[in-house]
Amino acid sequence: MIQIKPVPAKFTHVVRHPVLRPGKPIDTCIFEGDDLSSTKHFGLYFNEDLIGVISVFENKSSIFNHPNQLQIRGMAVLEKFQGKGYGRLLVNEVENYAKKVKSNLIWFNARENAAKFYKILGYEIYGSLFDIAGIGLHYVMYKQI
Ligand SMILES: CC(C)(COP(=O)(O)OP(=O)(O)OC[C@H]1O[C@@H](n2cnc3c(N)ncnc32)[C@H](O)[C@@H]1OP(=O)(O)O)[C@@H](O)C(=O)NCCC(=O)NCCS
């Protein structure tokens, strides 16, 4: 059974660590703002196991003019479960949340190799590739909701 539900920030580490920060200290899975009340974390459960996570921050990028912007961070599905549609479900969950809180723009820094995934979900690239030190090349991507 698949279920998506809000989870505390700390729960995300079990997926963030192997997928987004492999081989790095567990502390690197703590993101600034994780514990703010305006930040939401969603977990996708496969039966009892948390296998996918996505976090959404109230964070305005100076690139966009929209007043109520949300930033996705920490999007990850455990490797064994990738390519089965779970990432799409997590992004859909955040889009529904964005509508609920009347945000009309979602943006994030997308890893270069995940850009196609987000394009399939209707996100567009803004600008050129840039490097995030120690993590790799990224695009800013966004979608108006
Ligand atoms: C990127 C990621 C979150 C996608 O989640 P997922 O569960 O594997 O994706 P889904 O199965 O929901 O895929 C939805 C669609 O995107 C495609 N897709 C998924 N990942 C892709 C990728 N990296 N490149 C190209 N297409 C991809 C799927 O084939 C599917 O296409 P379809 O609808 O035409 O069949 C997941 O693969 C992951 O955690 N990757 C490693 C970490 C990462 O890069 N996170 C993003 C950081 S910005």
Residues with CB under 6 A from ligand 1: 19-20, 75-77, 82-88, 110-111, 113-114, 116-117, 120
State how far the Cα of 35 lies from the Cα of 144, in Å rounded to an integer: 26
pLDDT (tens digit per residue) in 98-143: 999 999 999 999 999 999 999 999 999 999 999 999 999 999 999 9
Question: Which phi and psi (to 5°) does residue 104 adopt?
Answer: -120, 10
Of all protein residues, the one whose alpha carbon is nearest to atom 17 of ligand 1 is 117
Give the strand pairing for 49-58 and 105-111. unpaired
pLDDT reported for residue 99: 97
pLDDT reported for residue 139: 98
pLDDT (tens digit per residue) in 37-48: 999 999 999 999
The CATH class given to the 2-108 domain equals alpha beta
Flag whether the pTM goes above 0.95. Answer: yes
